[in-house]
Amino acid sequence: MKKVLLSILGTVVFMGQINAQSDASKSAHLSVRTRQFLHDASKAGNKSTRIPGYIYKEIGGQVYMSAFIKVNSLFNESALSALDVHTGTHAGNIYTVQLPPDKLSALSAVAGITHIDLDMPVVPQNDQARKWTKADSAQRGIGMSYPATGRGVLTGIIDAGFDFNHPTFYDTLHGAYRVKKVWRQKVNGTPPPGYFYGNDMTDPYVIRGNGTDTSITTHGTHVAGITSGSGYGSPGNNRYRGFAYESDMAFVCIMPAPYQWAMPGTSDIIDGVNYLFNYAQSISRPCVANLSWGSSIGPHDGHSFFSEALDALTGPGKIFVCSAGNNGQDTIHLSKTFSAANNTVSTFVTFSQYLPADIKRTWLDVWGDSSKSFCLNFKLFDGPGAIDSSATICVSDTIQDYALVGSNGDTCFITVNMLASEYNGRPHAFLTFYSRTPDNICLTVKGTSGTVNMWEGYVFPPTGYYGELKKLGYSFAVDGDTKYTTSDYSSSYSAISVGAYTSKSVFTNISGATLGYAATVNGIAPFSSIGPTFDGRIKPDITGPGLALASSISSFDTSYLPTGGNYNSVICTSNVGGKDYSYAMAAGTSMSSPAVSGVIAMMLQMNPTLTPDSAKAIIAKTAIKDGYTGVIPAAGTNTWGHGKINAYAALKYMDQLTMVENTLENSLACIAYPNPAGNEFSVNFESKEKKSLDVSLFDLTGRLMNSEKWQVSSGGNTRTFSLARIPAGLYLLKVTEPGGNFKTIRIEHR
């Protein structure tokens, strides 16, 4: 066994910060991710050297890293200027920042900064879609007050691989250009207000003149086409139309150019969400922001800094939708509840078969219960017996490196990075593996109480790679499972997480060949990730069509040309303005998420103050349940959520509510004010006699939130009602007289 401890420099840096954490004015709590960087930088001997796996930006010729900080009342933002540290999004007490790598230690000493968490990288995760979701009926306005097409709504797409000139981003006549704003985060230029990096573009000629943000993927073009593409250039100029095809559009481009050797990270996403919501507010539009990227790494409990920041940004007219993930067939998760009599679990860590042959790397993220502990041990197996082993290391504030020698005389390197209490109060161990041996790596976890959950995943730009946790035929080991595999972003309380079902398993491509997927039409897509969250909440919230959908693709992505590897997926190509533009098939929760985002945009057209909770309640109430979903309880299931998205039923339901409100508006002499309301509102009621009124508050699904009796006298009456314990959102107040006369008033609670 070979064991390599921290360098002296690394020990001094870490212990100096850890020992001072009790005084937030002296030193910040460093997350495992942040400590890992300092450790890796100390081994490299230079914090300014770019280290693989971390998020960097080039801004004005200088290199910066992205991070979240959490602050308290002692924090003064002006203290950051001397360190060349720049803030971005302010979401409650969570800020995004850009910092020079060599200023990280100094940043931790700034008064009022309580926590620092460097970014984790993120990776990417329809012709029949509108029919299966019944959105085509809603778009035609059948039996409704007006068609639902997303008009008056901003659809925001956070992604990469946009073809800014694709005809689907114009209106249905290819006249008006609907992309109103683009933030290219990874290039130099004029940043948007409040930010330090990227290029913000609002001039349509400038946007189109850029052509694309990157030519190495078509992901963003395909996703945006599903959410809100007009379908121009497809057969009939409408066959591959998206959902909210009359909405305005804005894009956040998160992928750097290949030469930058960098990746998008979690704070980039939060900055993108805030950018979209701020722009929508400036033009008095509601907004849905779609993210079809994610990561298996994270606490999955809704208390990461990403989740806390997101929950602070969302609200009435500001809704975030994300893909659940594509790990429904991957045994990347393992959970173990310990007792004194059952205190050990062992599994083998394997590497993705799709990694380049010379890169056998992976990460394992291990989280325990608050106030509990666990211990780790590693062994190399060549056949039935272990040939090398590490020491057993228990949770503490430490980082240790191990080098295990394999049967070929080469080495498996393991770094164990631990905190007894991470920012969410839970013990955390982040493990990195790099192997140059053919031997099997066994991980053993021990504890006497509490539960540990672990997730495997690795990012090698720009792709996520997933090995699996396996028993490999050893009787003492166990396999991992596919539970808890929805992305960490999905666990955010305000996020609408979307799984995928199969709406099409066979298609005919542009060459006339019939191609198919091994999946059951109407059934769950095999890859769709499975919940719940760490704290037991149902995820995903809903499923949408994600296998397979036709949508627009980027003309800059050469893999879709006749000589490219993806040409078999192309469905049609047409010449518009002297250039060929195509539509192609793709599959994944990357596709089901924008389908649901498009439905949410249609719902926001009907109710611009719709909240995330109200949107979830409506799509749950109106979702399709059938023989494939099986019986779905009121709380939902961790495979289907509440079923399959039903756009028409959701919009019809909302339309009927609006018609009821309009019909009953003048039936009684009462008004509510202020409206919108804060934590309380008042009702004035003019009565001809003394009587008892029933006053009830309902959410948009018809669920009773509160009910009270109100004794009124002849003449004017006023009563104040509390909303302090009611979530923000849109509600219906019903005031009923004896005999059944009533009035319904829409109450907007902010």
pLDDT digits (tens, 9 = 90+) for 526-536: 999 999 999 99
Query: So where are the chain's domains?
Result: 1-119, 123-328+486-609, 330-481, 665-749
Pairwise CA distance, residues 413 & 432, whole Å: 8
Q: What is the pLDDT of residue 18?
A: 29
List pLDDT tens digits, range 349-360. Answer: 999 988 877 789
Q: What is the pLDDT of residue 47?
A: 57
Residue 713 burial (10 A CB sphere; 0-12, 13-18, 19+): exposed
Residue 508 exposure: Cα atoms within 13 Å on the Cβ side: 2
- Confidence bin at 521 (pLDDT 50/70/90): very high
Say what the alpha-carbon torsion angle 733, 736, 740, 744 is, to the nearest 10 degrees: -30
State the pTM of this model: 0.85
Q: Which fold has domain 665-749?
A: Immunoglobulin-like (2.60.40)
Pairwise CA distance, residues 729 & 614, whole Å: 7
Q: Check for a shared fold between 1-119 and 123-328+486-609.
A: no
pLDDT beyond 60 at 227: yes
- Confidence bin at 640 (pLDDT 50/70/90): very high
DSSP state of 714: S
- Confidence bin at 31 (pLDDT 50/70/90): very high
Q: Which fold has domain 123-328+486-609?
A: Rossmann fold (3.40.50)
Q: What is the pLDDT of residue 141?
A: 65
**Overall average pLDDT of the 429-443 stretch:** 95
Q: Can you state the percent helix, strand and coil of the chain, rounding each to 5?
A: 20, 35, 45
Tell me how crowded residue 93 is: count the other CB atoms within 10 A of its CB. Answer: 18
List pLDDT tens digits, range 561-583. Answer: 999 999 999 999 999 999 999 99
**Overall average pLDDT of the 399-417 stretch:** 94
- Specify the range with the lowest mean pLDDT, choosing from 19-28, 65-74, 120-129, 601-610: 19-28
More confident residue, 8 or 133: 133
Give the length of the chain. Answer: 750
| Cα dist from 29 to 48, 80, 93, 103, 591, whole Å | 22, 17, 15, 15, 38
- Confidence bin at 126 (pLDDT 50/70/90): very low
Q: What is the pLDDT of residue 444?
A: 97
Residue pair 598/243 in contact (Cβ under 8 Å)? The answer is yes
Residue pair 664/743 in contact (Cβ under 8 Å)? The answer is yes
Tokens 């035609």 — which residue?
140
Q: What is the pLDDT of residue 49?
A: 66
Pairwise CA distance, residues 236 & 230, whole Å: 11
- At 275, the amino acid letter reads Y
Q: What is the pLDDT of residue 120?
A: 87
Pairwise CA distance, residues 496 & 71, whole Å: 27
pLDDT beyond 80 at 307: yes
List pLDDT tens digits, range 327-353. Answer: 999 999 999 999 999 999 999 999 998
- Confidence bin at 452 (pLDDT 50/70/90): very high
Mean pLDDT of the chain: 88
Pairwise CA distance, residues 677 & 48, whole Å: 51
What are the structure tokens assigned to 396, written together?
């503490």
Q: What is the pLDDT of residue 139?
A: 59
Alpha-helical segments (H) within 296-445? 305-313
Please name which of 479, 589, 490 lies closest in space to residue 533, comparing C-alpha atoms: 490
DSSP state of 5: P
pLDDT beyond 50 at 20: no
Please name which of 732, 736, 722, 719 lies closest in space to residue 682, comparing C-alpha atoms: 719
- Confidence bin at 128 (pLDDT 50/70/90): very low
Q: What is the pLDDT of residue 629?
A: 96
Please name which of 287, 421, 435, 424 lies closest in space to residue 358, comparing C-alpha atoms: 435
**330-481: what CATH class?**
mainly beta
**Overall average pLDDT of the 467-484 stretch:** 96
Say what the alpha-carbon torsion angle 220, 222, 227, 228 is, to the nearest 10 degrees: 100
Confirm or reject CATH 3.30.70.80 for domain 1-119, answering yes or no.
yes
Residue pair 554/163 in contact (Cβ under 8 Å)? The answer is yes
Tokens 């099997």 — which residue?
440
Q: What is the pLDDT of residue 15?
A: 28
- Specify the range with the lowest mean pLDDT, choosing from 83-97, 582-596, 636-650, 690-704: 690-704
List pLDDT tens digits, range 658-668. Answer: 655 544 444 67
Tell me the Cα Rg of the chain: 27
Strand (E) or helix (H) holding 506? strand 506-508
179-184 vs 248-253, strand pairing mode: parallel
C-alpha torsion sign, points 16, 118, 53, 409: positive
Q: What is the pLDDT of residue 162?
A: 97
pLDDT beyond 90 at 669: no
29-30 vs 113-118, strand pairing mode: parallel
List pLDDT tens digits, range 619-628. Answer: 999 999 999 9
Most confident of 2-16, 392-406, 672-686, 688-702: 392-406
- Specify the range with the lowest mean pLDDT, choosing from 96-105, 401-410, 730-739: 730-739
Q: How far is CA 666 from the centre of its chain?
A: 43
By percentage, how much of the chain surpasses pLDDT 90? 70
Q: What is the pLDDT of residue 144?
A: 66
What are the structure tokens assigned to 445, written together?
């976890």
**Overall average pLDDT of the 470-477 stretch:** 96
pLDDT beyond 50 at 6: no
